[in-house]
C-alpha cells in the first residue's frame, strides 16, 4: 500500500518557518537540526499515521524529541493533513479554526 499524501496547511508551514528563523537567529546549527527533526517527524507520520495518539478535535499529535514542538495532523482516506507546528507551551487547540477544510 502506498503512503498517503501529505498536505501542510499554509499556517502550519508558516509556524515551522517562523520557528526555523527563530532558531537560526540563535544558532544556524540548531535551525538545521530543527528542520531535520521536522522532516523526520513528517516522514514517520507518513509511514505510520495511526501510531501517534489521538489529540484534540479528531486530530493526532507527534511530539518532537529535541525541540518543544508538536506536529498536529489529521487523517482522511486520501491524505494526511498537517494542521499545526505548535510550540508545546502555546495554548492547546488554537489551530481549531483550520479544521474547516
Q: Tell me, what's the pLDDT at 40?
A: 97
pLDDT higher than threshold 70 for residue 101: no
Residue 47 pLDDT grade (very low, low, confident, very high; cuts 50, 70, 90): very high
From the list 70, 76, 67, the residue with the least C-alpha distance to 53 is 70
Count how many Cα atoms sit within 13 Å of the Cα of residue 60 in the half-sphere of its side chain: 16
- Mean per-residue pLDDT for 76-84? 94
Which CATH number fits the domain that encloses residue 76? Answer: 3.30.2310.20
Does 99 fall in a domain? Answer: no
Task: Judge whether 44 lies within some domain.
Answer: yes
Which pTM does this prediction carry? Answer: 0.91
Q: Which domain holds residue 31?
A: 5-94
User: How many separate domains does the chain show?
Assistant: 1
**% of the chain exceeding 70 in pLDDT:** 98
Query: Would residue 11 count as lying in a domain?
Result: yes
- The answer to whether position 101 is within a domain reads no
pLDDT at residue number 1:
65
Supply the pLDDT for residue 93: 85
> At what angle are helices 28-47 and 10-26 packed, to 10 degrees?
150
Amino acid at each position: 500500500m502506498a503512503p498517503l499524501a501529505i498536505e501542510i496547511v499554509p499556517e502550519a508551514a508558516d509556524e515551522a518557518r517562523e520557528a526555523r528563523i527563530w532558531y537560526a537567529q540563535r544558532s544556524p546549527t540548531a535551525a538545521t537540526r530543527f528542520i531535520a527533526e521536522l522532516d523526520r517527524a513528517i516522514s514517520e507520520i507518513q509511514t505510520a499515521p495511526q501510531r501517534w495518539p489521538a489529540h484534540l478535535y479528531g486530530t493526532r499529535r507527534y511530539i518532537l524529541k529535541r525541540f518543544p514542538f508538536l506536529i498536529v495532523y489529521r487523517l482522511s482516506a486520501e491524505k494526511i493533513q498537517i494542521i499545526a507546528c505548535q510550540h508545546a507551551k502555546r495554548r492547546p487547540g488554537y489551530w481549531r479554526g483550520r479544521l474547516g477544510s
